[in-house]
């Protein structure tokens, strides 16, 4: 099957812009005439340093990161940040965690090893089908930070507002970073695994207020100390060079799409089309409640497990792949990350309507 | 400059087999007709699982890893292992560390956060120009493990024997893994950053005796617990998929070269040629003492800093790149990892002889 016939709805790792992959292919054996692949470059070479610096600058520009904040290119994924954040910011004290899905739940559990975790909200009772309102958040006076996950990949919910808190905001933006403008100055720390909207798996981006550095617990591994990482500009050891280079290519593509402002328009249009089908269907039911719905991950089901399986199988036969929902929720999930073309959504909608016609 | 005219002597990240890069390029936008790049595949998809499983099997075969040991594909580099090892194996007790270079020194320093570190050997007095003999090692009775770095990339020394110890051996093989046969059963834990002999930067391979699992300290981050990682077959979170795929291609190439046995012959021949030039030179002086010399990183100098700089500059003009020594040692370093072709060594030797003729 030719590449252009497949639309990949995977929740991450996921679809990348074809133009970025094509440039990577063209430069693969010989980057800009240097006779080497980016994969073969010393991370200490001027050539790689230029890639590193320009990627950082492009990301700084794309998200308007203020000079108070530092961008780190790390390894280990969200799961390592689950521990890094409390090790660096908790100082043995307490933090508020909003549990609106699987990953914020895991983050809260991990943080308990390093201090006191207060649950500011927990939407598990209704299957994490919504985001709590500001007035529902239980905020504690002495919290070192307030933690939340901006977009819940598994459940398909997304915070439509930035919480108002006294404590610094710490936010997992793994699945909606670069999909809309963000006022970075309002956050103490933003982090994101790159494998959804940014780059291949293996890179974790951390954007943190430098004023929060230097509070790590004594047993924090050196490679997890934000202060040390800032001091070494992410190069305490060898960074994930290839993923950083791929991010650079993705950021070039993003700029061509009108940056995060352009992306916000596109992602809204993409998701609105799909939710419209769900809300007017006699077969499909959206999992997330209006007002809490994610533009990145649209979760739905038919309320018949066998029919769900038939839907996923039939979709794959048409080149609409990876539509199976997470094992926790079941049903279907269409992840509509930045690089998903509108043609993919249209093809999915055409198939959904046909499937509904055949099964209602 | 065309690719084939450059020989990359970088200490890591470093040269990769051209055939592996070419296959990666060919499959880049469409892996085996699936319409996706490996960089876009869900790590939970059967297609990626197949890549993961076969890569692991190829590595198991290449190093004859016994069933008592598990192979992990992780992130974070050696520096994360500096903390993971004591967090998992020290149990608050003591371990013996042989400090024969920069990285073993860093590992010993990090381990002190988690227990008692006893220095079994320290070769810093003579600029880490040699490896201690077995009888020099100060081994303590209650050591939870004995730690050493098999090859010191910066100083160009390499252990020519496997230490005899009561405690389990823990070994950093970052810069000589896959360059020779290893009796894995003699080790409690072997680890290696992939960016020298295996794959692009961003993958860390750990091979550990499963009997050592389950001893982690209570505050060990979940993603650093060997027991948890073994249980989840390295997929507690998204692994560095692209690097694992690249390792698979490199292992295919390795097999064509006769595996680690074939590689050992080649690397010995490569290094012997170069040391022969050094030992018969009136200009160059090898840093490492005979009996301790590395086949992977050959360090030398002229004893004149300006001449060293001129050597490195002239070499680069000929396409012999990244020959500058580490900032700690100065001078020159030729890293001869698995993928360095003999033509590269021959070209370097021709240049060395010419340079000597012109400057003596």
pLDDT recorded at residue B297: 98
- CB neighbour list of residue A231: distance below 8 Å, 6 or more residues apart: none
User: Could you give the C-alpha distances from B307 to B274, B275, B312, in angstroms and in order?
Assistant: 19, 20, 9
Q: What is the predicted pLDDT for the residue at A4? A: 56
Question: What is the per-residue pLDDT across B4-37, written as a single tens digit (0 to 9) for each?
Answer: 589 999 999 999 999 999 999 999 999 999 999 9
Asked whether the beta carbons of residue A219 and residue B219 sit closer than 8 angstroms, the reply is yes
CB contact under 8 A, A322 and B45: yes
pTM comes to 0.97
Q: How crowded is residue A138: how many other Cβ atoms within 10 Å of its Cβ?
A: 12
Asked whether the beta carbons of residue B16 and residue A110 sit closer than 8 angstroms, the reply is: no
User: What does the pLDDT read at residue A133?
Assistant: 98
> What average pLDDT does range A136-165 have in this prediction?
98
Rounded alpha-carbon distances, angstroms, from residue A119 to A81, A89, A97, A140: 18, 17, 5, 10
The low-confidence residues of chain B, meaning pLDDT below 70, are 1-4
| pLDDT, tens digit, 9 for 90 and up, residues A191-216 | 999 999 999 999 999 999 999 999 99
Give residue B5's pLDDT.
Answer: 81
pLDDT value, residue B3: 55
Chain A residues with CB under 8 Å of B193 CB are: 237-238
pLDDT in tens, A259-291: 999 999 999 999 999 999 999 999 999 999 999
pLDDT at A2 over 90: no
Identify from A202, A206, A232, A318 which residue to disrupt to test chain B contact, counting B C-beta atoms within 10 A and taking the largest count: A202
Residue of B11, B42, B78, B334 to mutate, testing the A interface (most A Cβ within 10 Å of its Cβ)? B42
Dihedral sign for Cα B296, B302, B305, B311, please.
Answer: negative
Question: Which of A43, A38, A33 has its CA nearest to residue A242?
Answer: A38
The pLDDT score that the predictor gives to residue A156 is 97
Copy the structure tokens of residue B225. Answer: 């617990």
Q: How far is the alpha carbon of A342 from chain B, nearest alpha carbon, in Å?
A: 17
Q: Which domains does chain B have, with CATH numbers?
A: 22-255 (3.40.640.10), 258-359 (3.90.1150.10)
Mean pLDDT over the full length of chain A? 97
Average pLDDT over residues A117-121: 98
Q: Which residue of A has its CA nearest to B19?
A: A29
The 10s digit of each residue's pLDDT in A306-350 is: 999 999 999 999 999 999 999 999 999 999 999 999 999 999 999
Tokens of residue A111, six digits: 């943080």
What is the structure's pLDDT at A5? 81
Contact call for B21 and A39, based on CB within 8 A? yes
- Chain A residues in contact with B219 by the CB 8 A cut-off are 113-114, 219
Contact (CB, 8 A) for A244 and A51: yes
């Amino acid at each position: 099957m030719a590449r252009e016939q497949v639309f990949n709805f995977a929740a991450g790792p996921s679809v990348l812009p074809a133009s970025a992959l094509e440039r990577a292919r063209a430069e693969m054996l010989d980057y800009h005439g240097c006779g080497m692949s980016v994969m073969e470059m010393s991370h200490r070479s001027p050539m790689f340093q230029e890639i590193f610096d320009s990627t950082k600058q492009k990301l700084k520009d794309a998200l308007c990161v203020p000079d108070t904040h530092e961008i780190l290119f790390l390894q280990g994924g969200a799961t390592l940040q689950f521990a890094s954040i409390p090790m660096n910011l908790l100082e043995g004290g307490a933090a508020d965690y909003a549990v609106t899905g699987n990953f914020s739940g895991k983050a809260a559990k991990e943080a308990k090893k390093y201090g006191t975790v207060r649950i500011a909200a927990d939407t598990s009772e209704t299957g994490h089908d919504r985001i709590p309102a500001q007035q529902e958040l239980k905020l504690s006076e002495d919290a070192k930070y307030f933690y939340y996950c901006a977009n819940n990949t598994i459940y398909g919910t997304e915070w439509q507002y930035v919480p108002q808190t006294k404590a610094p905001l710490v936010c997992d933006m793994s699945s909606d970073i670069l999909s809309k403008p963000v006022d970075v100055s309002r956050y103490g720390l933003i982090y994101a695994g790159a494998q959804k909207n940014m780059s291949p798996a293996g890179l974790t981006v951390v954007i943190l207020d430098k004023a929060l550095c230097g509070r790590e617990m004594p047993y924090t591994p050196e490679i997890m100390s934000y202060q040390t990482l800032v001091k070494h500009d992410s190069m305490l050891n060898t960074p994930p060079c290839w993923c950083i280079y791929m991010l650079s290519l993705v950021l070039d593509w993003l700029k061509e799409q009108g940056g995060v402002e352009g992306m916000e328009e596109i992602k809204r249009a993409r998701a609105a089309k799909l939710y419209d089908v769900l809300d007017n269907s006699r077969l499909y039911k959206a999992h997330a409640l209006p007002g809490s719905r994610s533009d990145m991950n649209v979760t739905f089901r038919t309320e018949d497990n066998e029919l769900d399986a038939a839907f996923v199988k039939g979709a794959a036969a048409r080149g609409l792949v990876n539509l199976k929902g997470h094992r926790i929720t079941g049903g279907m999930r269409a992840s509509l990350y930045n690089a998903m073309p509108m043609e993919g959504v249209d093809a999915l909608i055409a198939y959904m309507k046909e499937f509904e016609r055949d099964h209602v």
